Amino acid sequence: MSDLFDFGDRVDRYAVMGNPISHSKSPRIHALFARQTQQQLEYSAIQVDSGGFTQAVGNFVASGGKGLNITVPFKQEAYALVASRSPRAERAGAVNTIKIENKKLFGDTTDGVGLVTDLLHNHGINLREARILLMGAGGAARGVIEALMQQAPAYLLIANRTPDKAVELASVFADLGTLHGSGYEQLAEQQFDVVINATAASLQGEMPDLPDDVLADGACCYDMMYGKVTQFMHWSQFHGAAKVLDGLGMLVEQAAESFYLWRGVRPNTAPVIEELRSELTY
Ligand code: ATR
């Protein structure tokens, strides 16, 4: 084909890789960002089989792709694959955004800033001096701890079904301020201003075993999941939370941070969140 008609080569290409990927909202979000900021780009979703991640990234790089988002279950593999990383990705032990320049891969993680931006700017939640409870000690929890600690909370408590994992995770971030790890039983008699669910329990229609009186007056409860009202969100409403939030805003904000890393332009997230929100059935 003549160069003149080879439009595909002239449009910068991006993609999200994961498994499963068909329900990903990222192509939609980035298309909305691109239209809003008048950037010419293409963004697709690529399903990658287990064991095929390195090859898939290699193919994408060889074909001239400019950047990738990486989602479950490949964020740790992406961390290991990239040539260099941002300090926050280094801390998180995970990469959700790859920038490709001269075929070299730079890895970043935008999940933490996505969560904090959503809490602070979209919902007006104060984190400074707040008592924060983070539930879960897997990759999702680990990815947001540094950004939460940077807001100077009174303290952060990481609670997990397997308490040892929470204690271990807290020790990784101990230099950032007051944070501890524990099981759920040890939460009895304690109250928190902000409670964040970073467990996979919602996927099974379950929620962690929280004591009934764990919410302080005016507490905000945040589930990092979106797309349905989770058990934890029901529980929070029932137990008198002042605000009950899902993770849709975090999803859009982490995408905006990736977009900024790639394009140097910050999209306005509010209309994008509003548009996606209007399509949810709750
Ligand atoms: P992710 O990358 O999404 O964080 P993960 O690394 O598998 O996934 O971690 C899942 C987290 O959800 C863990 O903290 C897990 O607790 P355990 O470490 O005790 O396994 C937590 N989790 C999963 N199902 C849960 C449930 N039904 N109740 C409470 N916690 C649950």
pLDDT in tens, 174-206: 999 999 999 999 999 999 999 999 999 998 999
Would you state the pLDDT for residue 87? 97
- Smallest CA-to-CA distance from 229 within 118, 221, 134 is with 221
Catalytic annotation present for 66: no
Would you state the pLDDT for residue 248? 97
Each residue's pLDDT tens digit, 114-160: 999 999 999 999 999 999 999 999 999 999 999 999 999 999 999 99
What token pair was written down for 108?
């970043």
Domain 2-109 has CATH 3.40.50.10860: yes
Would the pTM of this model clear 0.85, i.e. be above it?
yes
137 CA distance to ligand 1 middle (Å): 7
Topology adopted by domain 112-249 = Rossmann fold (3.40.50)
Tell me the mean pLDDT in the region 82-95: 97
**Which atom of ligand 1 is found nearest the CA of 137?**
14
Q: Give ranges for CATH 3.40.50.720 in the chain.
A: 112-249
Each residue's pLDDT tens digit, 244-270: 999 999 999 999 999 999 999 999 999
Mean pLDDT estimate for the chain: 95
Is the shortest distance between the CB of 18 and ligand 1 below 6 Å?
Answer: no
For the chain, strand residue ranges (E) read 12-18, 41-47, 67-70, 84-85, 97-101, 104-108, 131-135, 155-159, 179-182, 192-197, 215-223, 243-245
Catalytic residue among 66, 75, 104, 243: 75
Which contiguous run of DSSP H or E holds residue 242? none
Tell me the mean pLDDT in the region 90-101: 97
